Amino acid sequence: KRSFVFVYTDYSYLGMLIISHLFFAVIVAIIFNNLTDNATGVQDRIGLLFMCATNVCFSHANFALNRFRTSKLLYIREQQVGSYSPAIYFLATFTADLPILALCIMLKSIIVYFATGLYGSAGAFFYFFIVLFLLSVASFGFGALVGTAISNEVIATSVVPMIQVPMLMCGGLLADNDQIRPYFIWLEKISVHRYGSL
């Protein structure tokens, strides 16, 4: 209950989260407006999907990182008295944040998908939405992991891109898979960017 109250009574936090997603969606819709079916259009579609996946991964990892930072002292105090397990805390926090994450992804998906002229069917739209939503869930978990593992805020904020950028480079869109083998093949397999963009 406290997690729901914390999320849904902080109007500046909610407002900024929604505004940042709407801002990105409008910028992407302007840049990739009315995609064509020629070779340039295919390249633009790949860029569009890559940008959407990358934005979701970075923004939702930082969202979770900042979310845990604000309630960390309360969590530590309640852990010392044995109020609940870490798994219960994570599930409660994630459950409270899930509707707002879904709303933000839905708003972004509606604006981007229809303004850019991607394939016009309900099934394709919901596939686009589900992929972005699952990327957001994975990134939220990653941000929560970094937020709990590293106590210093500055270091934790620096670690997120330090881990995500190599996964982004090994995802298969920026470098050919043959170039990253055999040394970084494991990064290719765990890269959420790869699964979200392809």
Give the global pTM: 0.83
Whether the Cβ atoms of residue 57 and residue 139 lie closer than 8 Å to each other: yes
Task: Please give the average per-residue pLDDT across 35-43, as a whole number.
Answer: 81
Task: Please give the average per-residue pLDDT across 113-127, as a whole number.
Answer: 87
3-class DSSP state of 1: coil
Share of the chain above pLDDT 90, in %: 13
Task: Please give the average per-residue pLDDT across 111-123, as a whole number.
Answer: 86
How far apart are the C-alpha atoms of 103 and 145, rounded to whole Å?
A: 23
Question: Would you place residue 59 in the very low, low, confident or very high pLDDT band (cuts 50, 70, 90)?
Answer: confident
> Residue 40 contacts by C-beta under 8 Å, 6 or more apart in sequence?
none
| pLDDT value, residue 188 | 76
* Nearest in space to 154 (alpha carbons), one of 165, 163, 146: 146
